Amino acid sequence: MQEHVIVDGSNIATEGRSQPSLAQLNEAVLVFMKEFPKTKVSVIVDATFGYRIHKKELRDFEEAISNNELVAPPAGAIGRGDAFVLSVAEKVKGAILSNDSYQEFHGKYPWLFTPGRLIGGKPVPHVGWVFVERLPVRGPTSRRSVKSGAVVEKAPRKVSVAASQPMPVPKGPPPASRAASPAMRPAAPAPKATTSSSRAANEVLPFLTFVEKCPIGTQVKAVVDAYSAHGATVSIGDVRGYVPLRLLASPPPRSARDHLEIGQTVQLVVAGFTPARRSIELGLPAMVAASAVASQKSASKSSSSKPATKKSRAATSKPTDAIKKVVPAKKRPATKAALAGQKKPPTKQTPKKSGARQTQTSKSRKGR
């Protein structure tokens, strides 16, 4: 083993994974240092390593960079992390811990084929990390680099001549678009009936048994199965229940992960049932009790604020015996007794005759 080993951190952290893992890289380096305690170890990662790891590992990555536990190449370095790893290994005349063959660098760094200068490592189930010496794999890119004696780009993928040609123009419609006679057309499949049992949370018999044995307010032991957008699902024997966020804390948390863990056994209280979906609602004892008190208060307020009934309104609108409606005199009908008591209207006086007529009558009276 060489006195100094340069670890290609980006390669080891991505071994067997699609995205790099800082925890996997840390585990591999610690196991290597334990197996080879007299060997100096330097870990180098590429410039994009901090953007590709999980967000939870970003803080540990920044601390490792500030403590010089991890080294990243300078910004704008040609060849990114691979060129920097090879240049450092050449300077210290050490080995490289990586599963990469660096084919584009074989012409510039021929010492990669020297035994002991390249080490590979893989995690083996039930065993751990295993490290072995290896030789680079040759290929078209390696041959081009050795021939030119310099760093070359990776060989592009070979594309067939037919694939690079334009698409041929079809001479006729596809077979599926040809019109078929009604007799030859296949019968349409009958739509699947969606019953309420397919959407139910539990089977009928286990649900009814649970409702009979555990009414509302019963404390039960449940095991957390999974998280959902608005709570968590739990299992109580043969039935499944649901714990909403509002019955976990006040105010409701953003996620059930803040109070429950997968596989945890918790003491819950039955808060209600939904027979249509055969679902069981549960919650923490303190929150279920607080919810019950709040519902009772709201019910009492609603009952006190109800409007008066028709009977009560009618009773209040009826006048008492002491208060009587007075009918105006103009609207009273005239009775016979009232008409008899009234005075007769005065008779009209005849107007006096003229003076000439009066003299004639007086003369006639005198002659008589």
* CATH value at residue 91: 3.40.50.11980
DSSP one-letter code for 330: G
Determine the Cα–Cα distance for residues 40 and 58; give it in Å rounded to an integer: 26
Give domain status of residue 362, yes or no: no
In a domain, 162, yes or no: no
Residue 367 resides in a domain:
no
Residue (of 79, 78, 58) closest to 70 by Cα position: 58
Same domain, 204 and 120: no
CB distance 269 to 218 below 8 Å: yes
What HEC string does 166-206 produce? CCCCCCCCCHHHCCCCCCCCCCCCCCCCCCHHHHCCCCHHH
Residue ranges in the chain modelled with pLDDT below 50: 194, 196-197, 312, 314-315, 319-327, 356, 359, 363, 368
Buried b / exposed e over 302-336, threshold 16 CB at 10 Å, is eeeeeeeeeeeeeeeeeeeeeeeeeeeeeeeeeee
pLDDT value, residue 254? 82
Considering the domain architecture, whether residues 65 and 135 belong to the same structural domain is answered as yes
Q: Are residue 138 and residue 204 in the same domain, yes or no?
A: no
Peptide linkage before 140 cis (omega within 30 of 0): no
Reading the block at residue 70, the tokens are 């991890």
Residue 61 inside a domain? The answer is: yes
Looking at residue 170, what is its pLDDT? 79
Nearest to 256 by CA among 274, 283, 236: 283
Q: Could you give the number of structural domains in the chain?
A: 2
- Name the DSSP class of 344: P
Helix, strand, coil proportions of the chain in percent (round to 5)?
40, 15, 45
pLDDT (0 to 100) of residue 199: 72
Could you tell me the end-to-end alpha-carbon distance of the chain, in angstroms, rounded to an integer?
187
pLDDT of residue 149: 85
Q: What is the pLDDT of residue 43?
A: 94
For residue 172, is it within any domain?
no
Cα 321 to Cα 15, 222, 324: the distances in Å are: 100, 69, 7
In the prediction, which pLDDT does 256 show?
84
pTM over 0.75: no
User: Which amino acid, 148?
Assistant: S
Phi, psi of 252 (to 5 degrees): -60, 140
Give the domain-ending residue among 282, 301, 320: 301
Check whether residue 95 and residue 216 sit in a common domain: no
**Nearest Cα to Cα of residue 220 among 240, 208, 236, 207:** 236
In a shared domain, residues 216 and 111: no
For residue 238, what are the domain limits?
200-301
Amino acid sitting at position 355: G
Contact at 8 Å (CB) between 17 and 24?
yes
